[in-house]
Amino acid sequence: MRIIKIALLCILILLCKHKTLAQSALEITDEQAEKQFLEKNLQILAERCNISIADAAVVQAKVLNNPTISVGDINFWNPNASTEVGVPASFGNNFIFSVELEKIIKTAGKRKRLVNLEKMSKEIALQEFETFLLNLKTELRIILHETVYLQSYLNIVNKQLEIMDNLVQVYKNQTVLGNVAKRELIRIQASLIELESEANEIRTELNKLYKTIKILLNYAPEEKIWILPASVVLKNPDEISLPNLLDMAKNSRPEYLLSDLNVKYHEKLLLYEKTLRSPDIALSVNYDRYGGVWKNFVGLGISLDIPVFNKNQGNIKMAKHFLEQSNYYAEEQKNAIQQEVVEIYNDYKMNYLFYNKLMENDFSEDLDNMLDVHSRNFMNKNINMLEYIDFMYAYKTTKQAMLLAKKNLDIRFTELQFSINNEIN
Contacts of 190 (CB under 8 A, 6+ apart): none
Q: What SS3 class is residue 378?
A: helix
Is the separation of the CB atoms in 373 and 366 below 8 Å?
Answer: no
Q: What SS3 class is residue 143?
A: helix
Distance CA 391, CA 385 (A): 10
- What's the chain's length in residues? 425
Query: Given its phi and psi angles, is residue 101 left (phi above 0), alpha (psi -120 to 50 degrees) or beta?
Result: beta
pLDDT digits (tens, 9 = 90+) for 99-133: 889 988 888 888 899 999 999 999 999 999 999 99
The alpha carbons of the chain give a radius of gyration, in whole angstroms, of 39
Query: DSSP code of 360?
Result: G
Distance CA 407, CA 348 (A): 12
- Give the phi and the psi of residue 293 in degrees, each rounded to 5: -65, -40
Output the pLDDT for position 77: 61
Output the pLDDT for position 148: 96
pLDDT mean by block of 10 residues, the chain; 425 residues: 44 44 74 91 90 91 88 67 46 70 88 91 93 93 96 93 85 82 84 93 96 94 91 88 94 92 94 91 86 79 88 93 95 95 96 88 73 76 80 88 94 94 87
Distance CA 274, CA 316 (A): 6
Contacts of 173 (CB under 8 A, 6+ apart): none
pTM over 0.85: no
Output the pLDDT for position 9: 47
Q: Which long-range contacts (CB under 8 A, 24 or more apart) does 210-215 make?
A: 210/147, 212/143, 213/33, 213/140, 213/143, 213/144, 213/147
Distance CA 417, CA 232 (A): 12
Query: DSSP code of 222?
Result: T
Output the pLDDT for position 78: 58
CA distances, 306 to each of 69, 109, 191, 280 (Å): 24, 18, 89, 10
- Give the phi and the psi of residue 71 in degrees, each rounded to 5: -120, 130
Distance CA 155, CA 20 (A): 6
- Give the phi and the psi of residue 111 in degrees, each rounded to 5: -65, -45
